[in-house]
Chains A and B, each alone.
Chain A
Amino acid sequence: MANEAVVDDTGRSIAMVEGLQGVVADWSSDQRAFKRVPWGKAMMWIFLLSDTFIFACFLTSYMMVRISTTVPWPNPSEVFALTLFGHHIPLILIAIMTFILISSSGTMAMAVKFGYERNRKMTTILLIVTAMFGASFVGMQAFEWTKLIEEGVRPWGNPMGAAQFGACFFMITGFHGTHVTIGVIFLLIVARKVWKGHLDDMKPGFFTSRRGGYEVVEIMGLYWHFVDLVWVFIFALFYLW
C-alpha cells in the first residue's frame, strides 16, 4: 500500500505514506487532510464526534448524580422487568431492543456493501428493513416510557428511589430515541433515492442540493451505526450498571 499514487483534485498525483509519518503528511498537505474519504463522509464523522461529546456529557452527568446521591438508586433490573407468559423476566424489553438495534446495524452494513456494488434492489430492501427495525425500536421505547410514567416516574422524582433517576432516564433515552427517529426518516429518504436511481445519476438531493453517489448510503450508515454505538453505552452504563 505504501507509495500508492492517488490523484488529487487538480490532477496531480500525491504519494500516500503509511503509519505515523502518513498522519503528518496527510495533515500538512495543502490539499484535503482526509484522503480516500468523500467530503461528506469526513463531515459526517466530525458531526458524530461532536454528538459523541453530547452523549458523553449526558452519561457523565448521570454518573455524577448517581455517585453523589445518598438515596439508593432504583434497581434497573427490576424497574425494567416484564412479566411475559406468566414469567417475570428482568430487563427483557431492553434486551430485545438491543438485539433489534444490532440487527438493524447488520442490515445497514450490508446495504452499504450492495450500494457500492450498484445493486439497487438489495440496497433499497436492506435500507427499508433497517428503517423498520429502527421504527420498532422507537415503538418499544414509547411502550417503555408509557409503562414508567404510569408507575409514577417523573423527571423530578419516582416511587422507587433516588429522585434523579427519572431525569437521567428521560433525558438520555429521549435524546437517543430522537436520534433513532431522525435516522428512520433519513433511511427512508435515502432508500427512495436509491430506488429511483438518483445516486446513479448523481441527482441533487432536495435537502442539501448536493450531488451524491453511493457514498451517500455509507454516510447514512455511519449515522445509523453511531446510534447503535450510543445504545451500547446506554445499555451498559444505564441499564446494566
Chain B
Amino acid sequence: MSEAQVEAQQHPIAIYFWVWGLLFVLSTMSYMVDYLQFQGLLRWSLIIIFMFLKAGFIVAVFMHLYYERLALACALLIPIGALLVLIGLMSFEAGNTNMTRDIYLDGGSGILVMEEGTIH
C-alpha cells in the first residue's frame, strides 16, 4: 500500500449527507429555542447540548478526526482542557467583579450583604 493511499480519507458520500442533514436539524432546534423563547436553565442546557453535538459531528466526521490515530486526537483535544480551567477561573473572577460593582458602584449600598447560603 503506498503512502498516498494510506493517508487519503475515503468514506462513502452518504455519511456526509447524513451529517449535513443532522447539522440542519440541530441548528433548527437551537433556533427554535430562541423562537419559542425558552428561558432559564432549560434554554441554557439546550443551547449547550445542541452546540456540543454540532461541534462533535463537524470535528469527528467532516474533519475526519474520528478516523485519525488516537495520538493526533489526544494532541488536539487534551490542550482544550486548559481552556476549561481558564473559563472556570474567569467566571469566578467575573462574579467577584460583579459583586464589588453591585456594592460600591453608583447606587450600591456600600455594605456587603450576606444572605443565607448565597453570596451576592
Which residue of chain A has its CB nearest to the CB of B8? A116
Q: Which residues of B contact A69 (CB under 8 A)?
A: 98, 101
Nearest CB of A to B78, in Å: 10
Q: Which residues of A contact B95 (CB under 8 A)?
A: 67-68
> Across the interface, do A34 and B72 meet the contact criterion of CB distance under 8 Å?
yes
Nearest CB of A to B7, in Å: 5
> Across the interface, do A241 and B44 meet the contact criterion of CB distance under 8 Å?
yes
Q: Taking the complex as formed, is B112 at the interface, i.e. its CB lies under 8 A from any CB of chain A?
A: no
Q: Which of A16-24, A134-142, A151-159, A168-176 lines the interface with chain B?
A: A16-24
Number of residues from A at the complex interface, CB < 8 A: 69
Number of residues from B at the complex interface, CB < 8 A: 59
Q: How many A-B residue pairs have CB under 8 A?
A: 169
Q: Taking the complex as formed, is B115 at the interface, i.e. its CB lies under 8 A from any CB of chain A?
A: no
The secondary-structure label for the interface of chain A is helix
Contacts A19-B70, A116-B9 given; indicate if A70 touches B102 (C-beta within 8 A): yes
> Across the interface, do A63 and B83 meet the contact criterion of CB distance under 8 Å?
no
Nearest CB of B to A214, in Å: 7
Nearest CB of A to B15, in Å: 9
Q: Taking the complex as formed, is A15 at the interface, i.e. its CB lies under 8 A from any CB of chain B?
A: no
> Across the interface, do B6 and A213 meet the contact criterion of CB distance under 8 Å?
no
> Across the interface, do B9 and A112 meet the contact criterion of CB distance under 8 Å?
yes
**Binary contact track A74-113/B, C-beta < 8 Å → 1, others 0:** 0001000000000000110001001100110110111011
> Across the interface, do A49 and B79 meet the contact criterion of CB distance under 8 Å?
yes
Contacting A at CB under 8 A, from B22-71, are: 23-24, 27, 30-31, 33-35, 37, 43-44, 47-48, 50-51, 54-55, 58-59, 61-64, 68-71
How long is the Cα–Cα vector from A68 to B90 in the complex, in angstroms?
A: 10
Q: Taking the complex as formed, is B113 at the interface, i.e. its CB lies under 8 A from any CB of chain A?
A: no
> Across the interface, do B90 and A64 meet the contact criterion of CB distance under 8 Å?
yes
How long is the Cα–Cα vector from A98 to B109 in the complex, in angstroms?
A: 44
- 13 other A-B residue contacts (CB within 8 Å) besides A23-B70, A229-B55, A240-B34: A18-B70, A34-B69, A52-B83, A64-B93, A64-B97, A98-B31, A105-B58, A106-B23, A109-B16, A109-B19, A116-B10, A229-B63, A240-B30
**29 A-B interface contacts by CB (under 8 A):** A6-B6, A34-B75, A36-B7, A36-B68, A49-B76, A63-B94, A68-B94, A68-B95, A70-B101, A77-B34, A90-B35, A91-B35, A99-B27, A109-B20, A109-B61, A109-B62, A112-B9, A113-B16, A214-B8, A215-B8, A218-B64, A228-B58, A229-B55, A232-B55, A236-B30, A236-B47, A237-B47, A239-B34, A241-B47
